[in-house]
Chain A
Amino acid sequence: MEKFLDKKDVQVKVFANKIDHYLKLNIEGGLIYQSITEVKKEITEVFEDAEGYLLDLTALKQIDSTGFGVIVNTAKRIKTGRVMIIIIKDDYIRDLFRITKLDRLFSIVESVEEGLKMLDKTDI
């Protein structure tokens, strides 16, 4: 019926790449309590100033309350007036953003292209 989560699915991977003047931050695997210290450290390492941010969670397999805390803290690093768009494909993770009302804090889209378009519109 469903695929069980393998250990490798929830191993976390954090990396970033620049797309024009924006920074795309990717978190893959599990954004969960067990990996949270490592994730915070890796985000600090890859985070840099940009005119807009995409947080790509399309390869995220699992998130918990501590993971939401990390996302909120990442948003606090962003300079006033700049925005972070979150890319989510998984329906359940999207639902969790709705339940926690974090969809009011961040715009949530389903693809990088959609996110880039939104950032272009908000460019000053």
Chain B
Amino acid sequence: MKSMRLEMMPVSQEIERVDHEIERFLIDEGFKQYKDVQFAAHELLINSVKAMNQKYEDSCPYVIKIEAKANSEIVELSVTDYGGGLAEDWRQSLENVLFEDILMMESGRGLLLINCLTDFFDCSLTPDGAATYTIIKRRDDNGKVS
């Protein structure tokens, strides 16, 4: 399994650099549906930057860690931050909220899109307060969602 590890400061200007690194990794791995993973990863990075800025404002002592792994079957990507994780009912919200419900809303599409574009999406918290968001995309998927 090939892997890549990155770190970024929790500032929006860093997202573009990490976007590019992830894109390069996925393309180098010959991952056809790289755009779905890249899109989902970008959304995770936005969430992490927002959460950490909200929690620590300008004095954040942590970095955001990104790890991507790929083998012949899947690509797995995780983003770890100290922003506090998702709301307790995030899983339920993902199941109950449809894009139609938020059609005229400015926000709320990020997590739904991550869930839609990937085969697996989870968030776990560690005792030290780190939140890790993991997405997995299978290679044999044609990249389309219904």
Main secondary structure of the interface of A (DSSP, over half): helix
CA distance A66 to B109 in the complex (A): 8
CB contacts (< 8 Å) of A104 on chain B: these are: 100, 103
Counting CB contacts under 8 A, is A5 at the interface? yes
Residues on B with beta carbons closer than 8 Å to the beta carbon of A7 = 16
B1 at interface (Cβ–Cβ under 8 A)? no
* Total residues of chain B contacting the partner, CB 8 A: 33
Flag if B16 contacts A72 (CB, 8 Å).
Answer: no
- A99–B16 contact, CB under 8 A? no
Encode contact with B along A79-103: 1 for CB under 8 Å, 0 otherwise: 0000000000000100110011110
- What residues of B have a CB within 8 angstroms of the CB of A66 in the complex? 46, 107
Which residues in chain B, 99-120, are within 8 Å of chain A measured between CB atoms?
99-100, 103-107, 109-110, 112-113, 116-117
Q: Does B19 belong to the interface (CB within 8 Å)?
A: yes
With the chains together, A104 CA to B117 CA distance in Å? 19
1/0 per residue, CB under 8 A from B, across A14-55: the answer is 000000000000000000111000000000000000000000
Q: Which residues of chain A have a CB within 8 Å of any CB of chain B?
A: 1-2, 4-5, 7, 10, 32-34, 64-66, 68-70, 72-73, 76, 92, 95-96, 99-102, 104-105
